[in-house]
């Protein structure tokens, strides 16, 4: 049974006089790992930022569980049911523990309940040794794992991942991929994954949307899109011919 968690309707995002996004309709189903692929500059990050309510659309509407959230009332409540891992993780200049605790603290959690949840999440990601380390001194892979722990601990319904492994070594990339797969299966998170990497899309996603110059060119179940792309631009991207 399918249920839409997020929907975009007649969405336009303009920077200056340039339309960087123009999407008629895009639906994200609950429980899926939904991949967004497309060349650099095609508007993938902007799309995630709009879904996460960090950026406002210039026109059009965004629905969360069928409710229009582009109106911006009750932004905070909706935003607290989602979370995003950025391509380049920004660590707060404090310990790993405090970084992971942040999302819970702003929600008002304190004391032993807070500590237990943070520790549990650190353990899940193999970070318990680093609890008291200064987050700014972490390696790229460790920082990205902390960034993931920091969002998972808040138990989001939707997880946005913006090229989460593009700067990582294969070991850490595999670790992040395994984590994403397991939270999707075991904790039932819906995931929107922006990726450049066709192989990663094949390994992780159930559904793929191909974005090109701000427009949704085609979409479908991952195996179909990868095996039989209908549009020539999708085909070129999937073959790896697109320069990006």
Ligand X SMILES: Nc1ncnc2c1ncn2[C@@H]1O[C@H](COP(=O)(O)OP(=O)(O)O)[C@@H](O)[C@H]1O
Applying CB under 8 A, the residues found at the interface with other proteins are 49, 52, 54, 76, 79-80, 83-84, 86, 90, 92-95, 98, 102-103, 106-107, 132-135, 150-151, 154
22 lies in the binding site for Mg ion (CB under 5 A): no
User: From the list 15, 59, 105, 137, which residue makes contact with ligand X (rule: CB under 6 A)?
Assistant: 15
Q: How far apart are CA 17 and CA 119, in angstroms?
A: 47
Cα pseudo-dihedral 100, 176, 167, 83, rounded to 10: -50
Give the strand pairing for 82-85 and 67-68.
unpaired
CB burial readout 102-113, b (16+ within 10 A) else e: bbbeeeebeeee
- What SS3 class is residue 216? strand
Residue 95 binding: pick among other proteins, ligand X, Mg ion, none (C-beta 5-8 Å cut-off by kind): other proteins
Residue 93 binding: pick among other proteins, ligand X, Mg ion, none (C-beta 5-8 Å cut-off by kind): other proteins
Q: Which lies closer to ligand X via its Cβ, residue 26 or residue 125? A: 26
CA angle 88, 189, 132 (to 5 degrees): 50
**What's the Cα-to-Cα distance from 69 to each of 53, 66, 136, 151, 190, rounded to whole Å?**
8, 9, 34, 21, 18
User: From the list 11, 37, 44, 144, which residue makes contact with ligand X (rule: CB under 6 A)?
Assistant: 44
Residue 133 binding: pick among other proteins, Mg ion, ligand X, none (C-beta 5-8 Å cut-off by kind): other proteins
Smallest gap from residue 55 Cβ to Mg ion (A): 13
Applying CB under 6 A, the span of 43-51, 127-135, 151-159, 180-188 interacting with ligand X comes to 43-51
29 in Cβ contact with 2 (< 8 Å): yes
Residue 28 binding: pick among other proteins, Mg ion, ligand X, none (C-beta 5-8 Å cut-off by kind): none
Count the neighbouring beta carbons within 10 Å of the beta carbon of residue 237. Answer: 23
Q: Which lies closer to ligand X via its Cβ, residue 35 or residue 103? A: 35
205 in Cβ contact with 28 (< 8 Å): no
Q: Which of residues 40-79 bind Mg ion (CB under 5 A)?
A: 45
42 lies in the binding site for ligand X (CB under 6 A): yes
Smallest gap from residue 41 Cβ to ligand X (A): 4
Tokens of 110: 């304190």
Q: Which of residues 28-47 bind Mg ion (CB under 5 A)?
A: 45
Residue 192, burial from CB neighbour count under 10 angstroms (0-12, 13-18, 19+): buried
Binding site for Mg ion (CB under 5 A): 45
């Amino acid at each position: 049974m399918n249920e839409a968690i997020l929907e975009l309707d007649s969405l336009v995002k303009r920077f200056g006089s340039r339309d960087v996004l123009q999407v008629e309709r895009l639906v994200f189903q609950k429980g899926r790992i939904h991949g967004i692929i497309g060349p650099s500059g095609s508007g993938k990050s902007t799309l995630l930022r709009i879904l996460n309510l960090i950026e406002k659309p210039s026109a059009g509407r965004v629905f969360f569980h069928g409710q229009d959230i582009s109106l911006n009332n009750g932004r905070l409540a909706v935003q607290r049911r989602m979370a995003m891992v950025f391509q380049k993780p920004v660590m707060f200049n404090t310990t790993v523990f405090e970084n992971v605790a942040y999302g819970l603290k702003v929600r008002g959690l304190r004391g032993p309940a807070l500590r237990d949840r943070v520790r549990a999440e650190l353990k899940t990601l193999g970070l318990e040794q680093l609890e008291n380390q200064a987050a700014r001194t972490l390696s790229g892979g460790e920082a990205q794992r902390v960034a993931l722990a920091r969002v998972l601990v808040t138990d989001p319904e939707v997880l946005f991942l913006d090229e989460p492994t593009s700067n990582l070594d294969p070991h850490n990339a595999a670790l992040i991929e395994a984590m994403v797969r397991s939270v999707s299966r075991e904790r039932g998170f819906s995931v929107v994954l922006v990726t450049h990497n066709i192989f990663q899309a094949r390994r992780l996603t159930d559904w793929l949307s191909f974005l090109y110059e701000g427009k949704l060119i085609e979409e479908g179940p991952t195996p179909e899109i990868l095996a039989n792309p209908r549009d020539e631009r999708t085909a070129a991207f999937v073959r790896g011919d697109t320069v990006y």
